[in-house]
């Protein structure tokens, strides 16, 4: 009896996400759903990205957290249009929450909208919101077994950013193992090795964004 209920929820979400997608296309805004476990570096990546690309393109941010507006405060300090969603306990964002949030943004003026999902390596991958791509971060301190233990997010994502590579001397983590097992799950995955702290490797990520925004507009 449980299965149809779950299917109904997912189907209802897909309908709302498809409508969001239509609105994003109409406004020519490229949309990313940024996912990771708590603390992997989503907001740090957004801070670096905004510092480098805002001006070259118009960026908007939707922040998703169970509680607080700490991340939205970090981003709005940078002068980008930012909206905070508090899910009040829910462990992921869905199409309906995104619809409520983007009505506070001037979509027509944006080239790129990045949605920082709730920190969680499981549920966010199950819900679409109308995004063009899902992008995920795995930090090296989380361990190189994560692709095999949490495969769905790796399967659903177009990009994997392996963050905190500045910590590699201090943690037991094989980048090769992460890459090998991720690519087995999803051979189309684009992988960048980065450090939001030292900025190593971020040039490739910025170029990926530039190419995607250009081809979608
Ligand atoms: N050493 C190191 N620390 C980093 C790096 N990137 C982020 N951090 C630190 O990791 C912690 C968490 O970073 P956030 O960017 O807040 O992570 P988040 O994924 O947005 O976290 P939630 O929104 O709570 O899920 C902070 O203390 C950052 O300074 C990195 O490349 N290297
Ligand atoms: Mg954050």
Residue 79 belongs to domain with CATH number: 3.40.50.300
Q: Are 182 and 150 in contact (CB under 8 A)?
A: no
Query: Can you tell me the mean pLDDT for 118-126?
Result: 95
Q: Is residue 195 lining ligand 1, measured as CB closer than 6 Å? A: yes
Bigger pLDDT: 73 vs 1: 73
Q: Are 98 and 130 in contact (CB under 8 A)?
A: yes
pTM of the model: 0.96
Q: Are 35 and 139 in contact (CB under 8 A)?
A: no
Closest Cα to atom 29, ligand 1: which residue? 44
Q: What are phi and psi of 94, to 5 degrees?
A: -135, 180
- Measured CA to CA, the distance from residue 22 to residue 70 in angstroms comes to 31
Specify the pLDDT at position 2: 63
Segments forming the whole domain that contains residue 127: 2-216
Residue of 33, 35, 38, 39 best suited for mutating to test ligand 1, as the one with most atoms within 8 Å of CB: 39
pLDDT band at 74 (very low <50, low <70, confident <90, very high): very high
Q: Is residue 197 lining ligand 1, measured as CB closer than 6 Å? A: yes
Check pLDDT > 80 for residue 217. no
Q: Are 127 and 153 in contact (CB under 8 A)?
A: no
Specify the pLDDT at position 7: 78
Check pLDDT > 90 for residue 64. yes
Domain count, the chain: 1
Start-to-end C-alpha separation, the chain: 45
Cα–ligand 1 centroid distance for 42 (angstroms):
7
| Atom of ligand 1 lying closest to residue 194 CA | 31
Check pLDDT > 70 for residue 47. yes
């Amino acid at each position: 009896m449980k299965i149809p209920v779950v299917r109904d929820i997912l189907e209802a979400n897909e309908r709302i996400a498809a409508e969001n997608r239509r609105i994003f296309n109409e406004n020519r805004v490229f949309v990313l759903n940024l996912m990771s476990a708590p603390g992997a570096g989503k907001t740090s990546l957004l801070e670096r990205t905004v510092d480098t690309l805002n001006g070259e393109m118009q960026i908007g941010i939707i922040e998703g957290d169970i509680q607080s507006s700490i991340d939205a405060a970090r981003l709005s300090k940078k002068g980008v249009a930012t909206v905070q969603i508090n899910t009040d306990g829910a462990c992921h964002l869905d199409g309906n929450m995104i619809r409520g949030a983007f009505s506070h943004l001037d979509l027509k003026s944006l080239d790129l909208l990045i949605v920082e999902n709730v920190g969680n390596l499981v549920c966010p991958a199950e819900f679409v919101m109308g995004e063009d791509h899902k992008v995920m971060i795995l930090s090296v301190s989380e361990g190189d077994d994560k692709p095999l233990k949490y495969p769905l997010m790796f399967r659903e994502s177009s990009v994997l950013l392996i963050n905190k590579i500045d910590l590699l001397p201090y943690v037991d983590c094989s980048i090769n193992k992460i890459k090998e097992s991720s690519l087995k799950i999803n051979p189309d995955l684009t992988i960048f090795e980065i450090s939001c702290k030292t900025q190593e490797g971020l040039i490739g990520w910025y170029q990926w964004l530039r190419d995607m925004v250009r081809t979608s507009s």
